[in-house]
Each structure stands twice: as C-alpha cells, then as structure tokens.
Structure 1
C-alpha cells in the first residue's frame, strides 16, 4: 500500500511475491480502494485516509491486520490496525502511533515474531490437550470406578501424587516444544475461534476417555485375579498420562535436529517417581499403595502405553497434528 506511482508499486510487489503480471493494481485516485477487488494485493496512489479505509475494510472481513509504515501519513493506519509496526528510522509520529517499532528496520523480525507466536500458541493447545485429558480421565475413574466394583479407585494422596508428577515438570517441558515444520505456511485461524476450537475439545474428551478406560480395565482385571487393584489403577492412570505427553509432542524437524530432549527427561523422571510409589517403602506408606511384582509392573506399563500409542498412530494416519492447527484450505493472508 503506497502513495507512489502504480508502476513503482507493481515492481516492488513483484519483488516481494505479492504481484504478478496481469494482477490488478488498485489506484487510490480512481475511487475508494477499500471497495476494490478483494483479490487485490497492491494499492498505489493512496492517501492517508484511504490507507485507513483499507485497514478498516480488511478488519470488517474478519482479518487480523498488521500495518507497517514510517511516515507521518501512515500514522492513522498504524493506529487503526490490530498491530501497527513502525520502522526505527521512520518519523517520530509513526513510532508513537505504532504498537511495535523495528529498531533494526528488518521486516524479517516480524516473520520471526509471528513464528514464535504460533509456536507458543501451539504449545498452549498441546498442554491443554495433555492436562485436560488427564483431568477428565481422573474424574471418570473416580465416578465410574464404584459402578465397576472398585469401591475407592484412588486415595486422595494418590490423586495428588499423580497430578504433581504429570502436570508438573512434564507440563512445563511441553511449553518448550519447538515450532512445527511449516508453521508459517499454515493458513490463519479465525480470531473468533476458541482456544479449544478446531476439534481440541473433542480430542480432550476422547483422550481422557481412553486413559480412563485402560485404567479401569486394568483395575477390574486385577480385582478379579485378587491382586492389589488400587495400586494397579494408580500406576496405569499416571503412566498413561505420561505416555500421552510423548504422543502430543511436536513433530521432529525434517532436518534431523533434536526436538525437545527436556521432555524425555521430565517424563522419565516422573515415571520413575510414579513407579517408586509402589516400590519404595516410605512412598508406599505416604500414598497408601501396596507392593507390586515385576510381572505386574510390566503389565501395567504395557497397558498404560496404549493411549499414547493410539494417539501416535492416529497422528501418523491423518491430517493435522496434536495441537489441532487450522486446516481450512480456503484461508489466506491479506497484507495491507
């Protein structure tokens, strides 16, 4: 969007990949550019008030608009845009009107900031899927356990210990997951979309139900075989949530770089403490668990791995990923 000659605007748009021969160049001296072809990507001969109208028009279509500029005539549009970006070498008026000032005048900084924002948002959704699914599973176990013949599925200390181990260090480690490959090439999500939108709420319920099913199934089987079923439920419920943490992590970068080794360390440490709750005498006394033999421990670990394995297979076989990114094929970015 510029006040320069249309030929100049087209040449710069071509260098940026926004314009090709035959594409329209909207001229501000031919009418209101806000009413121009929605497919237009280049605007020339625009006045300051017309730049403001272009930003307002894009916002009325539901777009989130970032406006860059350095001159006095850019100030109204910088202020109206959702994110106004001023150049560090620009006028003081533009810098005061903007939300963000690029001190180095390097627009690639904006792209890096968008990529970091998408990484953070993906990790928030990733943590919500992991943590909320675990909470749903625990509630389901406590409510459905008595109906399945398990009078008190878990003691209060056992629930607190599971929450401490699963939502503690592994939850923090999930926040350090790297950006997913191609995250900047994804279409934009709707500003009205909930953080649990794009199917994340459904996935939380399904994942929580799967964890609860394996925990209750293991407890019922242990009760029938006259084994310490409460300790079995405790083990499977905690280990299954840790398995889900590994299943919802970001895909490995295609260049083979290490993703987030801190998550592996966090899950391993939490799993050892979870198992220690039935192997170590002081922890058994604290949590009210019973000793579990090696074969039973291996069986619990195998059953607990099922939810994470199912999620991993689903992710391999279908589009999208565990952070629930927007896959709308028709969405595209408008750049004023």
Structure 2
C-alpha cells in the first residue's frame, strides 16, 4: 500500500501482490487467540441465570457450614441430629416425649401459650432452654420459618434385630414383631410403633436404606410409645427375616392379593413376624419370597387397600384378640 514503505516495521510478504504492511495481521506467534464457544448462561457474568446460581451456591454453602438442612428438606444422613421448627411442631414433640437435648427460644419473640407450654414441658423434662438472638436462630433454622422457637433432637439409637428376639423370649406370650418393607412415610412408622406397643408386640424392624427412620415426625406419630418399644435397624431385611424364620418365627406378609384371608389365618399361638409393605408398591419381590404366607384383609366396601399403618393396626388388633381368646 502506498506510503507504507517509509513506516517503521513495514515488511513485504513474499508471494503476495500487496505492498508493504505493518504488523502480522494476526498470523504470527503473537496472533490473538480465539475466545472459544459462548459459555452457558450460568457462567456469564452479570447474566440473571449466573446471579441465581451464585445465590443458590452461597445459600448451600451456608447450610453446609451449619450442618443442618435447608428449609423443607431432610438430611441424607439419618444418624445426624434433627432440628424441629415452629411452635406447634415443637409443642407436639415435647408432648409426645421426644428425647430432645435443647430448646432454642429467640430473644424478643412474641410469647403465646404455645411457647409458654414448650418452655414448661422442656423444663419438666430436664431439657436445656437457651435464649438466643433471632439471627442465631435463623442460622440454626437454615432459612426456614421457625416462629422464634426450635427443638434439637439427637439421632435415634436403634436396637439390633437380635435384641427383639431376646425381648420376645423374655415375654410371657409368643413373639410378635412388625417389619416394614420400604415404608417411607415417618408418620406410618410412628403409627405402626404405636399399634405394636398397644397390642403387646415386642418391637419393630426397619431396613437401613430406602425407608422411613425414627425422626421427630415418627416420634410424634408414635405418641411417645417409641420411648418404651425398641425399633431395630436391619442391614438386609431379607436376611434378617430368614434368620427369624430359622429361629422358629412365622413370617407373614400383608398383601392385598394374599394367599389366605385374615379370617382363615391362625394367629393365636405361633411366634409371628408381620411384614408391612410400602405405601404404593407393597411387598418387594425378595421379601415376598421370604414370607411363609401372605395375608389379605377382607374388605366389605369398594376399597382396594388400606394405608400401611392402618392395615398393620387391623391385623395386630386381630392377633391380640385371638391370643386373648386362646388363653
């Protein structure tokens, strides 16, 4: 190009028809590198999606530092302490005798009869009562609504399945144990614990995975009977049921398509393990194969099945009635 020959650094490329030029035109060692593909929205600074992702990450980090779950979510670690939030849930847990370790009450909270009752119940049970700043209680709650009060509940101490056999051996009547197969609602677990205790049972077995655990919700549903009846955790429910069968117990599974009706099944004298399936799928395949018999509850109306805890209560009541009649 005209005029470039006198400029400092001007060169002419061999084999080109162009005149003198300055610089490499981006073709040499110092050429500019490409910026690559456009990053996703979550990684583009200033994008709304990036701001939302950053806020979520910050909130998750804070929840993790406190060692407590975010609002409305359970911990994956069932052996970790649990925090019950809200005035009504806290009072209900204290009424049910949940073995709490501390009651947190926010300074300056508008006290009503529920907080007064919670403080009184905690004091009567020897539970530590701590007055904390509201922002400290916010941190404990992990952003969830707490209404100025929180109850800390320690992890439940499960028994070993062999402990239930020992308890049954020490009793006057034949063994009566309930086993839950995939029941995921802790309210059903608590209700089954309550029914087993009410009708003279010796304990409840739950699998270690994919099942409800003894949380504060389960304690509340048991109406305090969980303090008197042992709940055992089985690493492998099928193997535990086989060991019980070897020990002389009959394994009976509740099933809507059971091989025998409850009216025809003899429950009076045999040591019994009553297996209750999940709320939706019923008994799993391996557990069903392990059962000596499957029992159905006769229905008079157009209802196909009952809730897991309701079905367990019906059968347990019938077992207790027949055993009383056989004495």
- Same topology, TM > 0.5: no
Larger radius of gyration: 2
Query: Which one has a larger percent helix, Structure 1 or Structure 2?
Result: 1
Tell me the TM-score normalized by structure 1: 0.23
Query: Which one has a larger percent strand, Structure 1 or Structure 2?
Result: 2
Tell me the TM-score normalized by structure 2: 0.24
